[in-house]
Amino acid sequence: MALLETISSPDDLKRLPAEQLDALAEEIREFLVAEVSRSGGHLGPNLGVVELTIAMHRVFDSPSDTLVFDTGHQSYVHKLLTGRQDFSGLRTRGGISGYPSRGESEHDVVENSHASTSLSWAEGIAKGYRLRGEERHAVAVIGDGALTGGMAWEALNNIAADKDLPLVIVVNDNERSYAPTIGGLADHLAMLRTNRQYEQVLDWGKDKLTRTPVVGRTAYQAFHSMKKGAKDFWAPQGMFEDLGIKYLGPVDGHDEEAVEQALRRAKAFGGPVMVHCITQKGRGYEHAVNDLADQFHGIGKINPETGLPLEIAGRSWTDEFSDEMVALGAARQDVVAITAAMMMPVGLQPFADAYPERIFDVGIAEQHATTMAAGLAFAGMHPVVAIYATFLNRAFDQLLMDCAMHRAGVTFVLDRSGVTGPDGASHHGMWDLALATLVPGVAVAAPRDGAGIRRALHEAVDIDDGPSIVRFPKGSVAEPVQAVAEYEGLDVLAGDVADDVDVLLVSVGAMAETARTAAEKLSAEGRTCLVIDPRWVLPVPDALVALAARAGTVAVLEDGNVAAGVGAEVARVCTEAGVATPVLRMGLPKEFIQHASRGQVLDAAGLTPDAVVERIRERG
Q: Is a pLDDT exceeding 70 seen at residue 177?
A: no
4-195+235-296 maps to CATH 3.40.50.1820: no
Least Cα distance to 112 among 301, 385, 394, 369 occurs for 394
Indicate if the alpha-carbon torsion angle 11, 15, 18, 22 is positive or negative: negative
| Count of positions (residues) in the chain | 620
Residue 123: how many other CB atoms lie within 10 Å: 22
Residue 528: how many other CB atoms lie within 10 Å: 17
- Residue 296: predicted pLDDT: 64
What are the residue ranges spanned by the domains of the chain?
A: 4-195+235-296, 196-234, 317-471, 491-618
- Residue 201: predicted pLDDT: 42
Both ends of the chain: CA-CA distance in Å?
A: 64
Which residues, at least 6 apart from 526, have a Cβ–Cβ distance to it below 8 Å?
none
Fold of 491-618: Rossmann fold (3.40.50)
- Residue 149: predicted pLDDT: 87
- Residue 478: predicted pLDDT: 83
Fold of 317-471: Rossmann fold (3.40.50)
Annotated binding site: 73, 113-115, 144-146, 174, 285, 366
Q: Is a pLDDT exceeding 90 seen at residue 233?
A: no
- Residue 112: predicted pLDDT: 72
The whole-chain average pLDDT of the chain stands at 88
- Residue 294: predicted pLDDT: 60
Q: Is a pLDDT exceeding 80 seen at residue 229?
A: no
- Residue 144: predicted pLDDT: 83
Q: Is a pLDDT exceeding 90 seen at residue 14?
A: yes
What does the alpha-carbon distance between residue 442 and residue 576 come to, in Å, rounded to a whole number? 19
Least Cα distance to 532 among 484, 584, 480, 569 occurs for 484
pLDDT in tens, 500-517: 999 999 999 999 999 999
- Residue 309: predicted pLDDT: 67
> Residue 398 gets which letter from DSSP?
I
Question: Which residues are designated catalytic?
Answer: 281, 366, 394
Annotated binding site for thiamine diphosphate: 73, 113-115, 145-146, 174, 285, 366
Q: Do domains 4-195+235-296 and 317-471 have the same CATH topology?
A: yes
- Residue 244: predicted pLDDT: 74
- Residue 217: predicted pLDDT: 43
Contact 298, 344 (CB under 8 A): no
Annotated binding site for Mg(2+): 144, 174
Between 274 and 145, the higher pLDDT residue: 274
Q: Which of 35-49, 158-172, 261-275, 293-307 has the lowest mean pLDDT?
A: 293-307
pLDDT in tens, 62-114: 999 999 999 888 999 999 999 999 999 998 888 999 889 999 999 999 987 68
Percentage of residues of the chain with pLDDT beyond 90: 70
Residue 135: how many other CB atoms lie within 10 Å: 9
Q: What are phi and psi of 299, to 5 degrees?
A: -125, 160
pTM of this structure:
0.83
Residue range 602-618: average pLDDT?
95
- Residue 223: predicted pLDDT: 45
What does the alpha-carbon distance between residue 102 and residue 69 come to, in Å, rounded to a whole number? 13
